[in-house]
């Protein structure tokens, strides 16, 4: 897989999501950026089902061969485009469980509300139900981001901040669930105010009394 639109390019080789070397990395970031931006735009307009390599190439002004030299499928292009336009998840590690959880959840909210991803996430989630490759790539992406929140819980447990016997996986699901329920099901706005209210309700339940 190529580098994202925001990283510098080199003359080294690129790998697919499965680890296979497929092509030299981009000599110019312009074509890569155009492809990823075109993919995000088309996902917003057509959804994943309507996305094609032909359509991406036409919108980006490149040949199909250019795309296939760096990605093996439209699923790989779609997931990398998704990754390229979402801010990287930072691990705050302030020493305070409440502060760190709040910081991570607000990053999630900002990524879903202040980027092009707000319009394409539902399409990718729906398509992943029927496309095994997209599901695998999307799951890997989500697992890496969830690991940041898991690390916050693990550090807090080591410091003795959490309620004894707390199931960390269920706790994480309970915290992020309201955000994605709003974005994918009720279609209510995903806001910092709402997430702060959820945290104010749940943090006393998660922390040691």
136 located within any domain: yes
SS3 of residue 88 by DSSP: coil
Q: Please state the pTM of the whole predicted model.
A: 0.75
Residues 132 and 163 in one domain: yes
Q: What is the pLDDT of residues 143-171, one digit of tens each?
A: 988 999 999 999 999 999 999 999 999 99
Residues 105 and 76 in one domain: no
Q: How far is CA 48 from the centre of its chain?
A: 16
Q: Is 50 exposed, middle or buried (0-12, 13-18, 19+ CB in 10 A)?
A: exposed
pLDDT at residue 114 is higher than 80: no
Among the residues of 86-131, which ranges form H helices?
Answer: 97-113, 117-128
pLDDT, position 84: 83
Q: How confident is the model at residue 27 (pLDDT cuts 50, 70, 90)?
A: low
Domain residue limits at 52 = 13-84
CATH (domain of 64): 1.10.357.10
Mean pLDDT within 122-143: 85
pLDDT, position 21: 32
Residues 139 and 77 in one domain: no
Residues 123 and 152 in one domain: yes
Supply φ then ψ for residue 36, to 5 degrees.
Answer: -70, -40
Share of the chain above pLDDT 70, in %: 86
Helix (H) or strand (E) holding 22: strand 21-24
107 located within any domain: yes
Residues 113 and 200 in one domain: yes
Paired residues of 29 in beta bridges? none
Task: Provide the number of structural domains found in the chain.
Answer: 2
- Nearest by Cα to 106 from 152, 37, 168: 152
Q: 133 vs 100, which has greater pLDDT?
A: 100
């Amino acid at each position: 897989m190529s580098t994202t639109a925001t990283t510098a390019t080199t003359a080294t080789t690129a790998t697919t999501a499965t680890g296979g070397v497929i092509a030299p990395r981009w000599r110019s970031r312009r074509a890569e950026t155009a492809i990823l931006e075109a993919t995000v735009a088309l996902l917003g307009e057509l959804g994943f089902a309507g996305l094609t390599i032909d359509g991406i190439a036409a919108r980006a002004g490149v040949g199909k061969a250019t795309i296939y030299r760096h990605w093996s499928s439209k699923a790989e292009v779609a997931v990398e485009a998704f990754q390229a336009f979402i801010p990287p998840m930072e691990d705050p590690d302030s020493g305070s469980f409440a502060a760190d959880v709040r910081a991570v959840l607000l990053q999630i909210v900002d990524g879903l509300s202040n980027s092009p991803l707000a319009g394409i996430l539902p399409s990718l989630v729906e398509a992943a139900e029927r496309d095994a490759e997209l599901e695998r790539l999307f799951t890997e992406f989500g697992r890496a981001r969830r690991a940041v929140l898991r690390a916050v819980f693990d550090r807090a447990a080591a410091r003795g901040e959490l309620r004894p016997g707390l199931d960390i996986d269920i706790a994480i699901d309970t915290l992020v669930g309201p955000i994605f329920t709003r974005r994918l099901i009720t279609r209510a706005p995903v806001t910092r105010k709402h997430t702060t209210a959820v945290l104010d309700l749940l943090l006393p339940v998660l922390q040691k009394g």
